[in-house]
Amino acid sequence: MTDCLRTNPPTALYFWKNLSEKVFRQRVPVSGSLELTRRCPLRCLHCYAAEPGRSATPSAGELPTRRWLELIDEIRQAGCLYLLLTGGEPLVHPDFDAIYRQARSAGLIVTVFSSGCHLPVDHLDLLTEFPPLAVEITLYGATAATHERITGVAGSHDRTLRNVRRLMDRQLRVKLKTILMTENAHELTALEQLAADLHVPFRFDAALFPRFNGDRSPVQLRVPPAEAVARELASPERRERWLDFRKRMQAVPRTSRLYPCGAGMTTFHVTATGRLQPCLLMDALTADLRTVSFFDGWTGTLADIRTRTLRPDSPCTDCEAWFLCGYCPAFFTLETGDEHQPSEFLCAVGHHRRESLETYCEGYGCDEE
């Protein structure tokens, strides 16, 4: 028997761990999101877009379709594998079909974020012909009354659920998600059950942040941090994921990098007007893709993210809960105006998670080895 046949192949976990480390070191943009449009048929209470009452009509300054098609080739050549098409509502873009087809033809693994309110049959046929990794749909309530109080559009609840079923009838992978807020917290359990009845994955997030235009009204819809954590950890599956994450992160040395995530290192975001950013929330480093190539923007302006370091006097420097809070300097900037000044909401969430997980381990035991 030859040596190669006696050698055990690396596990999938080992392979992806090493691949992740390599692309991070080399700053390969393996994952990105394209905000095709800010247009949307809904008028959600909490939406972060600067124009709360947006319409489905074309917005001024949106990147031309021709540039989107060119950009998809450029990001593929730069090493992108995973692409998210988002909005607004990406399915209302008049050339969604052409953009989606280009992305799939380029070999990219595509996910589509949608409100589920707009699904013409030609879009459905295209998604069936070239299936995405998933279509993630946001449902704000288990009842029409709650969902539509948040979306501001009558009939949106029924349309969304009808389109979820249309996608599932085509054997497409659907995921449901919601934003946990004061307006729908009473229906979270029912939402989880609805997703279970449909046999689709479900997730929620409670981290509402101010609108990009500075309007802080969405923050008023936050549920208290203790409630958000309690609801999150009430699920055994979510609790186990957090325990596993906590165990892995405890062995990771604290970095001095201000942005320890993949933003600007392995991930990117492009706005509807063609601004290349490290992520959706961070607009302090941008490149105008109307005038420069993706490669020039990625290797130029966005590369400066590597130089941003955590201040020695930052409250996050010695915080034992920093990896449990959803630590995000871009989020801090939206809330406090300073990427070095933490969000009190995220801080409270992190400490509640830490205390809750420690209490659970004390009561039931955790493998900390």
The pairing of strands 134-138 and 202-205 is unpaired
Helix axes 225-233, 236-250, angle to 10 degrees: 100
Q: Which residues of the chain have pLDDT under 70?
A: 1-17, 50-60, 367-369
Q: How far apart are CA 268 and CA 31, in angstroms?
A: 7
Residue with the two structure tokens 């589509």: 112
Q: Positive or negative CA dihedral for 141, 144, 146, 152? A: positive
Distance, CA of 236 to CA of 229 (rounded, Å): 13
Helices (H), 214-343: 225-233, 236-250, 294-299, 329-336
Cβ neighbours for 78, distance < 8 A, ≥ 6 positions apart: 28, 29, 294, 295, 298
Residues in the chain, total: 369
C-alpha span between 167 and 171 (Å, rounded): 7
Q: Give the strands of the sheet with 287-288, arranged side by side.
A: 202-205, 174-179, 134-138, 109-114, 82-86, 31-35, 267-270, 275-277, 287-288
pLDDT in tens, 63-106: 999 999 999 999 999 999 999 999 999 999 999 999 999 999 99
**Cβ(59)–Cβ(109) under 8 Å?**
no
At position 257, the amino acid (one-letter code) is R
For domain 19-221+253-309, the CATH class is alpha beta
- What residue segments make up the domains of the chain, in order of their start? 19-221+253-309
- 141-170: pLDDT as tens digits: 999 999 999 999 999 999 999 999 999 999
Helix (H, G, I), strand (E, B) or coil at 170: coil
pLDDT of residue 194: 98
Element (H, E) at 346: helix 344-364
Q: How many CA atoms lie within 13 A of 223 on its CB side?
A: 19
Tell me what pLDDT residue 22 has: 81
Rounded-to-integer distance, Cα 177 and Cα 141, Å = 10
* Number of CB atoms found within 10 A of residue 149's CB: 14
